[in-house]
């Protein structure tokens, strides 16, 4: 049985946008999920035109779990089984933990951890029943290292890495694979949204394009790999925290992410 329908969260921009294009190019029907409805409809129209596929647009805020319930129920009523789940939506909050807005930090956890877990729970259960499916979780090299001023974000991505690796082993033999992709710095809206786009030391790190990250990530998912780290430099970055003392890694990242004095 061929995989037919892919659901992608955070599909309106960045890595999610490029993953959606790539899966459309490969002939998969799509369910595009993000908050920006107008962007999604414009994107969906171009995909239908270019690739002659079915595209369903669902504009919701997945930090609200009842919205995920409605998404799931809608797809079941419309008889749209999700064969590929791409948990891409995520955000970062930068700054001193004690000074950051509490609601923003909690919202970050809701999106990066809770929504991802709930979506996986719902759709992985159906995949196991059908004996077929692929799950791609987008984490980050940040998941391998503790970072002052990005403490909650890095911790949330560490969760995604650990959760994905554990679930992969748990689902072995069911026909359902779990792949986690850990990009490094990427030329997307992420740093602008997080507020880290003007950090001088961060700018020195080479950034991959969203298209490059998408291609490596999707290829790894189709090969049913456990872990994908796009880019040689990023692979080195994931190894260093395993070799160097963690306090030294945290201190180095403190220098990179420390807010400038005003």
Decide the pairing of beta strands 29-34 and 5-9. Answer: parallel
Helix, strand, coil proportions of the chain in percent (round to 5)?
55, 15, 30
In the chain, where do the E strands start and end? 5-9, 29-34, 55-59, 84-87, 133-138, 176-181, 186-187, 208-209, 227-228
34: nearest Cα among 25, 45, 44, 24: 44
Q: Which residues contact 28 (CB under 8 A, 6 or more apart)?
A: 3, 4, 5, 6, 53, 83, 84
CA dist 164 → 1, 8, 61, 72, 168 (Å):
24, 17, 23, 21, 6
Q: What are phi and psi of 168, to 5 degrees?
A: -55, -45
Tell me the C-alpha distance between 93 and 176, whole Å.
Answer: 32
H or E stretch at 226: none
Question: Could you give the count of Cα atoms lying within 13 Å of 122 in the half-sphere of its Cβ?
Answer: 22
Tell me the C-alpha distance between 89 and 58, whole Å.
Answer: 14
For the question of residue 159 being annotated catalytic, the response is no
- Given the residues 17, 149, 153, 159, select the one marked as catalytic: 153
Estimate to the nearest angstrom the gap between the alpha carbon of 121 and the chain centroid.
16
Catalytic sites, residue numbers:
153
């Amino acid at each position: 049985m061929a995989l037919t329908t892919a659901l992608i969260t955070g599909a309106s921009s960045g890595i999610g946008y490029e993953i959606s294009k790539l899966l459309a190019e490969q002939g998969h029907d799509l369910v595009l999920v993000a908050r920006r409805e107008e962007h999604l409809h414009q994107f969906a129209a171009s995909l239908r035109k270019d690739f002659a596929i079915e595209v369903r647009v669902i504009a919701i805020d997945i930090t609200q779990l009842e919205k995920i319930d409605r998404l799931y129920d809608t797809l079941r009523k419309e008889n749209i089984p999700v064969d590929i789940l791409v948990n891409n939506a995520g955000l970062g909050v930068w700054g001193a933990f004690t000074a950051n807005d509490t609601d923003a930090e909690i919202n970050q956890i809701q999106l990066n951890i809770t929504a991802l877990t709930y979506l996986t729970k719902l759709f992985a259960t159906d995949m196991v029943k059908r004996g077929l499916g692929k799950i791609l979780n987008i984490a980050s090299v940040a998941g391998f290292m503790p970072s002052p001023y990005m403490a909650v974000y890095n911790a949330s991505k560490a969760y995604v890495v650990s959760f994905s690796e554990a679930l992969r082993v748990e689902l072995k033999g069911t026909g359902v694979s779990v792949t986690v992709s850990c990009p490094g710095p990427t030329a997307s809206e992420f740093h602008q949204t997080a507020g880290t786009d003007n950090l001088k030391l961060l700018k020195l790190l080479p950034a991959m394009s969203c298209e490059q990250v998408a291609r490596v990530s999707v290829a790894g998912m189709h090969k049913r790999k456990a872990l994908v780290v796009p880019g040689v430099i990023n692979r080195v970055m994931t190894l260093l925290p395993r070799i160097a003392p963690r306090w030294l890694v945290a201190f180095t990242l403190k220098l990179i992410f420390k807010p400038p004095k005003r």
